[in-house]
Amino acid sequence: MEPLWLSQYPPGIPADIDIHEFASLTDVLLASCQRFDDLPAYSNMGTSMSYAELERSSRHFAAYLQKSLGLRRGDRVALMMPNLLQYPVALFGVLRAGMVVVNVNPQYTVPELEHQLLDSGAVAIVVLENFAHTLQAVLQRNLALSPIVITTEVGDLLPLARELLTNAVVKYVKHLVPPWKIAGAIEFNAALRAGRGQALDAVPLCHDDTAFLQYTGGTTGVAKGAVLTHGNLVANVLQMAAWMARDLVEGKEVFVCPLPLYHVYALTSNLVFLKLGAHTVLVTNPRDLSAYIHDLKRHPFTIIIGVNTLYRALLDAPEFADVDTSALKLTSAGGMAVQRVVAERWKARTGLPIIEGYGMTETSPVVIASPLDIAEWTGSIGLPIPSTQVVILDDEEHELAVGEVGEICVRGPQVMPGYWNHPEETAKVFTREGWLRTGDLGSMDERGYFRITDRKKDMIVVSGFKVYPNQIEDVVALHPGVKEVAAIGVPDERSGEIVKIIVVRQDATLTEQALLDHCRKHLTGYKVPRIVEFRREPLPKSNLGKILRRQLREAPVPAVEAATP
């Protein structure tokens, strides 16, 4: 029986993609560099790199890894940087050398970095000098770790005068480089120079070869490395390219990427738009809204990605009113649910809806996406993309009927083969029939559109009734006096759990009573929060901007902000 969602596909989108079009991500890169050689591939901090320059620099870095360092096929190389031109050069250099990229969040603490280096067995690491002190602490703490260390500075791939000025300002004016000392550390630019004089040994790669060890966020426990193969990533690139082919023009798009490349959502987005010959504008620090908005003003962007919190921050910034969005074709969101109020404000400001997608690290990441031709935000996460199967299963692995809420489970060529060195965890996450359990609750409607209700582990049960935090947060966020909100469950003797909301106010005069009155207008009685906590500080978030409910449940209650009378 044909899946319900295929009848809802816009014209021109195939039911399946040919995953054998490319044997590896290296083939994707080389094809784009040949087709779009003189076009800009990446820009950052006012400097652009063409596709031809990307090919040359990544080849030099790959040759350095092979010849100067003697690294071998399959060796793991960690990358610990924010969005800089060095990132794609290093990333594609590692892949072209036949090695495996281990993406590392540069904000990691010493224990987190130590765990990832130990677990992955990384033999080398490329680290931005700003974070080298963390690496130094890890190496001093654990003498069993001895990776080859390549350091880079923020301005390393900028023109010489700007490179020297940028690096001096970062180090001596802004004091963003804590003192560090790692014996034998190699400079990134020195590695590129050494690689120029050496020939790269081409490594034949296939779909089964590992491309990335992509670590899960660890918000529900110790971070695990999802093994993402070249076949997984090639499939997801082709799936998303097919999904967008009708609306985008090869070699003509300008893509603004404010999300970090070490996160799988931004990583795959970059690979997709690289295949399409887009000009990718890398934003190094999107929390610096003035600099971010300056980038938006500088480039006539046609594509932008983000998360709910980042879109809201832009909309709240007065300078964003001066940004020209007339060329914008696609606004994409992932990583967390988009709130109605943010979606409606974005549509009013730009004239375009936010296109939501759904996926996870283990699926490279996209499995479900909204069609690009939707007119308004619907609250749906969309339809399964080509060559992807999705079902809703109950706890006994029985498929549920249309409209019933259960766990979203997926199969497809983008799904990982398993976790690195964790066969027991791999066994837990797959069903007997080979479906990947996402841990997310949702339902499918009669047209094949899916809705995500919440994380299984975040669900609140009030007197036997299921309450989904996303729904509570969406309602609370509609109040104009609310800037941020998280809903969590807290133990209660009578009902098992009750709903608590933690709120950062936009309006200092907002009271608990006014917020509860607002909730009662929109929510059934048992869903109405029983506890309201106001905070002065922003809520804790992941590196992607997702509010960390688990941290809020486990952390001691901080000082509460008093309402203005």
In the listed set 162, 179, 205, which residue is the last one of a domain according to the structure? 205
pLDDT(220) > 50:
no
Q: What is the pLDDT of residues 124-133, one digit of tens each?
A: 999 999 999 9
Q: pLDDT at residue 561 above 70? A: no
Q: Which residues are CB-contacts of 341 (< 8 A; sequence separation ≥ 6)? A: 477, 478
Does the residue 328 lie in any domain? no
For the chain, what is the mean pLDDT? Answer: 93
Query: Identity (one letter) of the amino acid at 61?
Result: F
Residue 523 lies in a domain: yes
Tell whether 364 is covered by a domain.
no
Rounded Cα distance between 304 and 421, Å, is 36
Check residue 563 and give its pLDDT. Answer: 46
Helices 340-350 and 469-477, packing angle to 10 deg:
50
Least confident segment among 219-223, 430-434, 437-441 = 219-223
The band of 565, judged by pLDDT with boundaries at 50, 70 and 90, is very low
Confidence of residue 203 (pLDDT cuts 50, 70, 90): very high
For residue 515, the enclosing domain spans 459-554
- Is 218 contained in some domain? no
**Which neighbouring-strand residues pair with 280?**
42, 255
29 in a structural domain: no
Q: Which residues pair with 489 in a beta bridge?
A: 499
Question: Would 312 be classed as within a structural domain?
Answer: no
pLDDT tens per residue across span 345-356: 999 999 999 999
Query: Would 402 be classed as within a structural domain?
Result: no
The arrangement of strands across the sheet holding 366-369 comes to: 47-50, 40-44, 279-282, 254-257, 303-306, 330-333, 355-359, 366-369, 383-384
Mean pLDDT, rounded, for 398-414: 96
Model confidence pLDDT, tens digit, residues 232-251: 999 999 999 999 988 999 99
Say which CATH number the domain at 157 has. 3.40.50.980
For the CA atoms of the chain, what is the radius of gyration?
A: 24
The pTM for the full model equals 0.85
For residue 165, is it within any domain? Answer: yes
CA dist 393 and 395 (Å) reads 7
In the predicted structure, residue 1 carries a pLDDT above the cut 80: no
At which of 148, 177, 205 does a domain end? 205
| CATH number for 520 | 3.30.300.30
Angle between helices 289-298 and 308-316 (to 10 degrees): 80
Give percent of the chain with pLDDT exceeding 90. 81
Do the bridges between strand 406-411 and strand 436-444 make them parallel or antiparallel, or are there none, so unpaired? antiparallel
Question: Domain count of the chain?
Answer: 2
Give the pLDDT score at 553: 86
Of 190, 205, 220, the domain-final residue? 205
pLDDT bin (cut points 50, 70, 90) of residue 557 is low
Confidence of residue 558 (pLDDT cuts 50, 70, 90): low
Which pLDDT does position 219 carry in this prediction? 37
* Beta strands at 496-505 and 418-419: parallel, antiparallel or unpaired: unpaired
